[in-house]
Amino acid sequence: MDSIDILKRAFRRYYFDKFDTKLDRIKEREFGYATFDNRVIRHISFNDKNELRALLVREIPADVYASNAYYTNPEAEIELKNWLAADLIFDIDIKDLALPCMKDHQFSICINCKDISNEKICLKCRSNTKEVNIPCNNCIEEGKHQVFKILEMLNELGANKISVYFSGNNGFHIHVNDEELSYLNSEARRDIADYIKGIGIIPDIFGMGRKKNIDHIKDALNSEKGWKGRIARELLSRMDRNRLISSLRKKSYENFNNELRDITKRLGVTIDTVVTIDTHRIFRLENTLSSKSGLAKIKIDDVSQFNPYEDAVFIDDEPTKVHIHYAPKLLIKGNSFGPYKDEIVSLPLYAAVYLICKGLASEPKVLN
């Protein structure tokens, strides 16, 4: 990565002055980190948060991870760690929502000549490009909408001790610290992920099996809870009850199945199942900085009010000169920056770091 000195200075000051964590059972977790020269170190452990903090201040990692799992020997290789349990985790990536606004703020920058395009290989110099995404308000609001849906469903499943985090870049992480759910194996976690995505909801549960059961259909339409309730509300929002029942009477299994698939796709939550079923994952640690943005992964208390460009910015505002190759207009910490194109500008450190992390700026070259 370009401009490592600026990033390290910013990250060092953050870890030195501001880092703290409420992470529980630190002793039983595996930690890992990535360095700014792209090495990944895993299988480390700490006795307490002071030891963890000492490493962060000493190494200034680009990214820091902790296991969702608890082990007897977190430092050992996987087979010898002795898995005890693991928090249930969910990853909502805004990019996966495929929103129409994406085309307005996703582009590629050539790692060599800095040309802006939508190409994987630069048409001008044939070098690789880096994909850049700067989530807009609409993206963030849509991400929050997914968070509210997942909270409702976790509630239906009886989950306790749920925390919502901003991921540090492009999404949200949900951590469930509920002991009862912590012993679930991957298969059981997949069932939960499927429920949250709305996978496996078939016409039969609505009385709309190959052989229709009108009483069952009427009952299902009275449902309030769970997927039945969600589907009933959706169907009843389209037409009144009597018309709906007569329309369901006539509807074929296949047609209703297709209709259900559309509804569950829309009302389900877009999560990365791979993350949820992994009981040995190391996952970005709370209150650490993401090298993809310079923003912090932080716990969110009030999801509806959350703004990452305000609430996840912890780097200070020391004026810093950067060569900006390209930047759209940005609003960070209430200050508006840009647009910029191939110019040297003095920015507050937090904005400079954001653009460097996105690959859009670098330390100005000193001419001798």
What are the residue numbers of the active site? 91, 93, 272
Q: C-beta of 255: minimal distance to Zn ion in Å? A: 34
Residue keyed to tokens 């976690």: 189
- The Cβ of residue 195 has, within 10 Å, a number of other Cβ atoms equal to 19
Between 112 and 185, name the residue whose CB sits nearer to Zn ion: 112
**What is the nearest approach in angstroms of Zn ion to the Cβ of residue 123?**
8
Among 78, 80, 121, 125, binds Zn ion (CB under 5 A): 125
Using CB under 5 A as the binding rule, whether residue 64 contacts Zn ion is answered as no
**In b/e form, how buried is each residue of 90-119, taking b as 16+ CB within 10 angstroms?**
bbbbbbebebeebeeeebbbbeeebbbeee
Q: Which of residues 225-284 bind Zn ion (CB under 5 A)?
A: none
By CB under 5 A, residue 101 contacts Zn ion: yes
Closer residue to Zn ion in complex, CB, 115/317:
115
HEC letters along the chain: CCCHHHHHHHHHHHHHHCCCCCCCCHHHCCEEEECCCCCEEEEECCCCHHHHHHHHHHHCCCEEEEECEEECCCCCCHHHCCEEEECEEEEEEHHHHCCCCHHHHEEEEECCCCCEECCCECCCCCCEEEEEECCCHHHHHHHHHHHHHHHHHHHHCCCCCEEEEECCCCEEEEEECCHHHHCCCHHHHHHHHHHHHCCCCCHHHHCCCCCCCHHHHHHHHCCCCHHHHHHHHHHHCCCCHHHHHHHHHHCCHHHHHHHHHHHHHHHCCCCCHHHHHCCCCEEECCCCECCCCCCECEECCCHHHCCHHHHCCCCCCCEEEEEEEEECCEEECCEEECCEEEEEEEEEHHHHHHHHHCCCEECCCCCC
CB of 144 to Zn ion, least distance (A): 13
Residue 124 lies near Zn ion (rule: CB under 5 A): yes
**Residue placing its CB nearer to Zn ion in the complex, 56 or 110:** 110
Q: Does 330 interact with Zn ion (rule: CB under 5 A)?
A: no
Residue from 26, 109, 139, 248 binding Zn ion (CB under 5 A)? 139
If one asks whether residue 113 binds Zn ion (CB under 5 A), the answer comes out as yes
| Between 69 and 109, CB nearer to Zn ion | 109
Is residue 115 at the binding interface for Zn ion, with CB under 5 A as the rule? yes
122 binds Zn ion (CB under 5 A): yes
Q: Among 21, 106, 117, 138, which residue interacts with Zn ion (rule: CB under 5 A)?
A: 138
Count residues contacting Zn ion (CB under 5 A)? 12
Nearer to Zn ion, 187 or 342 (CB): 342
Among residues 136, 162, 263, 303, the one that binds Zn ion under rule CB under 5 A? 136
| Shortest distance, position 134 Cβ to Zn ion, whole Å | 8
For Zn ion, give the closer residue by CB, 336 or 368.
336
Question: CB 109 → Zn ion: shortest distance, Å?
Answer: 9
CB of 137 to Zn ion, least distance (A): 7
Shortest Å distance, C-beta 306 to Zn ion: 16
Rank residues 44 and 136 by Cβ distance to Zn ion and give the closer one: 136
Which span (77-85, 108-116, 216-224, 240-248) binds Zn ion, by CB under 5 A?
108-116
Interface residue list for Zn ion (CB under 5 A): 101, 110, 112-113, 115, 122, 124-125, 127, 136, 138-139
